[in-house]
Structure 1
Amino acid sequence: MTPDRWFVLVSGVALIGFIIWFFWMNRSLGVRASQASGDFQEAMILVKGGYTPDAIVVRAGKPVRLNFRREETASCSDKVIFADFNKSAELPTGKTVAVELLPKEPGEYPFTCPMGMFRGRLIVEG
């Protein structure tokens, strides 16, 4: 093989590796929820092209209030689903919707849009 073909081959493999890392292996550490009134741990999540932040860290055994604010009109983002808690909420555009949960056990609990394109994690520490 000629040097230019080697360069194209190595560049292509490197690009594929970067795409795999960026979309499937790159995980954020998470944002710690703040302590709010009423003993709730609270966090604000912006819904626009995904969930920002997409990882929320909370303590087990204390109630959690996640405030979702949807700033787009994509049909996939109109609902959030917490399958492990058997909860979901409609997210109207431009409005803040609170979802209240009580995580009892430490672990990671995913939340998604109905199509699974937007993904987030609730990280519960003991």
Structure 2
Amino acid sequence: MDVTKIIILVVAIALIGFILWWFFGKHDEAIGKASVNQGTQEANIVVNGGYSPSTIVLKQGVPAKVNFDMQDSTACLSHVVFEQLGVNKDLTKQKITTINIPTDKKGTYNFACGMDMFHGKIEVK
């Protein structure tokens, strides 16, 4: 086996390792909390190559709004879908899109991009 084949083999193994880590590895998850003002809680999620933070914690029983700040023009991230709530919002129509989240009972509301590649969740505690 010559040097070129060895280099190609090493690069291929490294690339496969990176792909496995990217899709299946445990990554740190950013968790945000809502701020409460005048009886309403509000949280912000930046949409830029994913969702940051990807998890928001809300207080049960306090009306809540989650603002999606669109900073990425990727087609996949142009929509946010809350399947459990029946919400499918186009984030490209305005810089910040607000979605009301029900907080009458504890639970988790998962959301994803329009292609279901990027995910996040809202936890009502």
Same-fold status (TM-score > 0.5): yes
Whether the 8 Å contact between 2:70 and 2:91 is mirrored in structure 1 is yes
Structure 2: unaligned runs, 5 residues or longer: 1-9
Q: Residue 73 and residue 64 in structure 1: after superposition, are their counterparts in 2 closer, same or farther (change >3 A)?
A: same
Q: Name the SS for the 1:105 alignment partner.
A: coil
Identical amino acids, percent of aligned pairs? 31
Matching residue's letter, 1:32: K
Whether the 8 Å contact between 2:45 and 2:51 is mirrored in structure 1 is yes
Q: Which residue of structure 2 aligns with residue 19 of structure 1?
A: 21
TM-score normalised to structure 1 length: 0.74
Q: Which residue of structure 1 aligns with residue 49 of structure 2?
A: 49
Q: Which residue of structure 2 aligns with residue 31 of structure 1?
A: 32
Output one character per residue of 1:40-65: Cα deviation in whole Å (capped at 9) or x when no partner: 21111110100011000001222111
Matching residue's letter, 2:103: P
Q: Name the SS for the 2:84 alignment partner.
A: helix
Higher mean C-alpha deviation, range 48-57 or range 76-85: 76-85
CA–CA distance in structure 1, aligned partners of residues 65 and 98 of structure 2: 6
Q: Report deviation, 1:88.
A: 2.4
Output one character per residue of 1:22-81: Cα deviation in whole Å (capped at 9) or x when no partner: 7454463621111033x2211111101000110000012221111111111111111111
Matching residue's letter, 1:73: S
The question of 1:80 aligning with 2:67 is answered no
CA–CA distance in structure 1, aligned partners of residues 116 and 28 of structure 2: 17
Q: Name the SS for the 2:116 alignment partner.
A: coil
Whether the 8 Å contact between 1:65 and 1:101 is mirrored in structure 2 is yes
Matching residue's letter, 1:54: S
Give the count of matched residue pairs.
Answer: 111
Structure 1: unaligned runs, 5 residues or longer: 1-7
CA–CA distance in structure 1, aligned partners of residues 124 and 57 of structure 2: 6
TM-score normalised to structure 2 length: 0.74
CA–CA distance in structure 2, aligned partners of residues 27 and 122 of structure 1: 17
Matching residue's letter, 1:19: W
CA–CA distance in structure 2, aligned partners of residues 74 and 104 of structure 1: 34
CA–CA distance in structure 2, aligned partners of residues 70 and 99 of structure 1: 13
- The CA RMSD over aligned residues, in Å, is 2.4
